[in-house]
Chain A
């Protein structure tokens, strides 16, 4: 044995022998070590210090993090919950990394989360795994936090007894990126969350909405995937939302929408893909939104605009293989469609400027009939219905004439 190793052993032995010494900047929690619980480690670490958690299963009462600290889990560091939350963070500048949090009973009285940040700033939770928790990550009254690269897997069966994977309440300037969430009530729920940035997440197989937000202004959502959620994505009572490059797919059901917009104003929806949804985009009471350069493919209804949606613009979008391109509930509609590509367009382009010379009317007579009498849906693709549509196109009586694309694209935009 060399002297150096001997010395280090001695020092280690001293530390072991005197655990109650002054606060340290780095503490190790180990099921077999001197510090066995995180709560204990929190009592020893200096503010701004670091707690490392060795592999093992930890079952503790609520772990209250009230000082700025970085908690890092080795792989295999597992925390189990029960009828209480696992981490409750009430200090600024707390970072949680690489933890595995498992289990948590549902509650009808409180939104019990695996990790709750309450009234803090600059918190971070990343590279963690949450399995079978009630609520996953919950940020309340916080700002400037980051939720990155976490995996949140729930096993929700009914909405009543399930919570949301990532939940923001009254928080601002939060970044949520690279997370994969599934099997909860809502994948990501933002309520009164301003200036949130939601990027590169995957939210799938949730009971209700993949992404749900209410009263969350000035938010930006990019490159996320929302698939197979019970009711797709819902954006409500919000203004200045920017959604771009997202994929909305396979949201099927009687009330499932790729993207449900209710009371949304001055927002931009650009370059998203809507694939195989019952309804691609549903607009209700929304005004002055721009829907540009999106692709609608294989949806039941690509776009459903209610007459109370005003001044919305649809331009440069691609409509392909949808059962219905546009549906509405009134003859007077005040949304603008221009320069979109419609695979059903049968017009010509004599001056070869790339735009069709006759306007395209995306609302088919049959889609009106179905809106009024749902069972008529069984006649979809019937020869008779196609004839009716053709007749209506030649001599429009029932379909909204103002809802038309004056300059439909002849080719799909690149």
Chain B
């Protein structure tokens, strides 16, 4: 554990010095700030940020994460030559990646809200959900990055895989769902579609946020099925749980590969 903290400390230094995380923070901050200056009230800004959280956060997490692990390759090899357990080294690497990114997201989006938003009870729910979704997506996609970068020694393959996974989750997956719905329109599809949604972290994040804003639309017949599942607090907890599982599984896989890897 101690070694893990030490590795983490070093990695934090390293990541923060690389300025990429700083740029990410400033970018998010400026974006949110500008939305406030042009758009006005907090609720609208949250809606506008929806696509940022659902697209930009996973993209940055998975691409930056993969690059980061590749860049840390020599350092990793060096440390492995020392009496350091692979487990704590892996934990240090992951946290050193995920924590700064998560912090950058929270600071970049949260600060403008602290500055501009008028305290309004109706805003807290959506804002909290936005931040939670962004946080969990960061955890999921950095875990995926860890898996890719440890699994493939070839950087091109790893980065290609990262972008592919992002495109699949952000765009293709929804296309497939739509195709499925259109092809099987004669069948009651609410539940299968619900199950499919649970498999894609970006869709999960989207639905969580959706229920904060577009409840009126979702209250139609089909929407009622979705609302019944996602809208209740147990449903919401379940979704957060699934997102955590989606972060844990690739992480465990990556850790397994990392332990057995012949560097």
A300: B residues at CB distance < 8 A: 214, 216-220, 223
A318 to chain B, nearest CB (A): 15
B215: A residues at CB distance < 8 A: 252
Q: Mark A367-378, 1 if CB is under 8 A from B, else 0.
A: 001001111111
Contact partner of B219 (CB less than 8 A), chosen from A256, A372, A375, is A256
Please judge, given known A-B contacts A377-B226, A380-B214, A383-B51, whether A369 and B219 are in contact too, CB under 8 Å: no
B190 contacts partner chain A, Cβ-Cβ < 8 Å: yes
When the two chains form their complex, are residues A373 and B185 in contact, meaning their CB atoms are under 8 A apart?
A: yes
B220: A residues at CB distance < 8 A: 254, 278, 300, 374, 377
A382 contacts partner chain B, Cβ-Cβ < 8 Å: yes
A43 contacts partner chain B, Cβ-Cβ < 8 Å: no
Q: Name the residue on A nearest B43 (C-beta).
A: A321
Dominant SS at the B interface?
A: helix
When the two chains form their complex, are residues B210 and A374 in contact, meaning their CB atoms are under 8 A apart?
A: no
B182 contacts partner chain A, Cβ-Cβ < 8 Å: yes
Measured in the bound complex, the distance between the Cα atoms of B106 and A316 in whole Å is 41
Which of B209, B214, B224 is most buried by chain A, counting CB atoms within 10 A of its CB?
Answer: B214
When the two chains form their complex, are residues A323 and B216 in contact, meaning their CB atoms are under 8 A apart?
A: yes
Which of A252, A298, A299 is most buried by chain B, counting CB atoms within 10 A of its CB?
Answer: A252
Please judge, given known A-B contacts A377-B223, A378-B226, whether A324 and B217 are in contact too, CB under 8 Å: yes
A76 contacts partner chain B, Cβ-Cβ < 8 Å: no
When the two chains form their complex, are residues B219 and A278 in contact, meaning their CB atoms are under 8 A apart?
A: yes
Q: Name the residue on B nearest A385 (C-beta).
A: B174
Measured in the bound complex, the distance between the Cα atoms of B183 and A373 in whole Å is 10
A369 to chain B, nearest CB (A): 7
Measured in the bound complex, the distance between the Cα atoms of B183 and A376 in whole Å is 12
Contact partner of A384 (CB less than 8 A), chosen from B174, B214, B217, B223, is B174
A5 contacts partner chain B, Cβ-Cβ < 8 Å: no
Measured in the bound complex, the distance between the Cα atoms of B221 and A198 in whole Å is 32
When the two chains form their complex, are residues A383 and B219 in contact, meaning their CB atoms are under 8 A apart?
A: no
Measured in the bound complex, the distance between the Cα atoms of B172 and A253 in whole Å is 31
When the two chains form their complex, are residues B171 and A380 in contact, meaning their CB atoms are under 8 A apart?
A: no
Q: Name the residue on A nearest B226 (C-beta).
A: A378
When the two chains form their complex, are residues B50 and A374 in contact, meaning their CB atoms are under 8 A apart?
A: no
When the two chains form their complex, are residues B216 and A379 in contact, meaning their CB atoms are under 8 A apart?
A: no
Measured in the bound complex, the distance between the Cα atoms of B217 and A373 in whole Å is 14
When the two chains form their complex, are residues B55 and A383 in contact, meaning their CB atoms are under 8 A apart?
A: yes
A160 contacts partner chain B, Cβ-Cβ < 8 Å: no
Which chain B residues (175-217) contact chain A, with CB distance < 8 Å?
175, 177-178, 181-182, 185, 189-190, 193-194, 197, 203, 206-207, 209-210, 214-217
Contact partner of B224 (CB less than 8 A), chosen from A254, A299, A376, A387, is A254
Q: Name the residue on B nearest A300 (C-beta).
A: B217
Number of A-B contacts (CB under 8 A): 99
A352: B residues at CB distance < 8 A: none
Q: Name the residue on B nearest A384 (C-beta).
A: B174
A-side interface residues, number (CB < 8 Å):
31
A373: B residues at CB distance < 8 A: 181-182, 185, 189
B18 contacts partner chain A, Cβ-Cβ < 8 Å: no
When the two chains form their complex, are residues B217 and A378 in contact, meaning their CB atoms are under 8 A apart?
A: no
Please judge, given known A-B contacts A381-B210, A383-B54, whether A369 and B217 are in contact too, CB under 8 Å: no
Measured in the bound complex, the distance between the Cα atoms of B219 and A300 in whole Å is 8
Which chain A residues (379-409) contact chain B, with CB distance < 8 Å?
379-387
Q: Name the residue on A nearest B193 (C-beta).
A: A375
A268 to chain B, nearest CB (A): 26
A376: B residues at CB distance < 8 A: 178, 181-182
A236 to chain B, nearest CB (A): 21
Q: Name the residue on B nearest A253 (C-beta).
A: B219
Please judge, given known A-B contacts A375-B189, A377-B226, whether A384 and B216 are in contact too, CB under 8 Å: no
Q: Mark A248-289, 1 if CB is under 8 A from B, else 0.
A: 000011101000000000000000000011100000000000
Q: Name the residue on A nearest B54 (C-beta).
A: A383
B85 contacts partner chain A, Cβ-Cβ < 8 Å: no
A377: B residues at CB distance < 8 A: 217-218, 220, 222-223, 226
B214: A residues at CB distance < 8 A: 300, 323, 380-381
Please judge, given known A-B contacts A376-B178, A387-B171, whether A323 and B217 are in contact too, CB under 8 Å: yes
B170 contacts partner chain A, Cβ-Cβ < 8 Å: yes
A360: B residues at CB distance < 8 A: none
When the two chains form their complex, are residues B178 and A379 in contact, meaning their CB atoms are under 8 A apart?
A: yes
A301 contacts partner chain B, Cβ-Cβ < 8 Å: yes
Which chain B residues (47-82) contact chain A, with CB distance < 8 Å?
47, 50-51, 54-55
Please judge, given known A-B contacts A375-B189, A375-B222, whether A385 and B217 are in contact too, CB under 8 Å: no
B50: A residues at CB distance < 8 A: 381
Which of B54, B193, B214, B216 is most buried by chain A, counting CB atoms within 10 A of its CB?
Answer: B216
Please judge, given known A-B contacts A369-B178, A376-B178, whether A252 and B203 are in contact too, CB under 8 Å: no
Measured in the bound complex, the distance between the Cα atoms of B224 and A299 in whole Å is 16
| Residue contacts A-B, CB under 8 angstroms, 30 given | A252-B215, A252-B216, A252-B219, A253-B224, A254-B219, A254-B220, A254-B221, A300-B220, A323-B214, A323-B216, A324-B217, A373-B181, A373-B182, A373-B189, A374-B220, A374-B222, A375-B193, A375-B222, A377-B220, A378-B197, A378-B222, A379-B178, A380-B214, A381-B209, A381-B210, A383-B171, A383-B174, A384-B171, A385-B174, A387-B171
**Extra pairs beyond A381-B206, A384-B171 (8, CB < 8 Å):** A256-B219, A321-B44, A321-B47, A377-B222, A379-B174, A381-B209, A383-B55, A384-B173
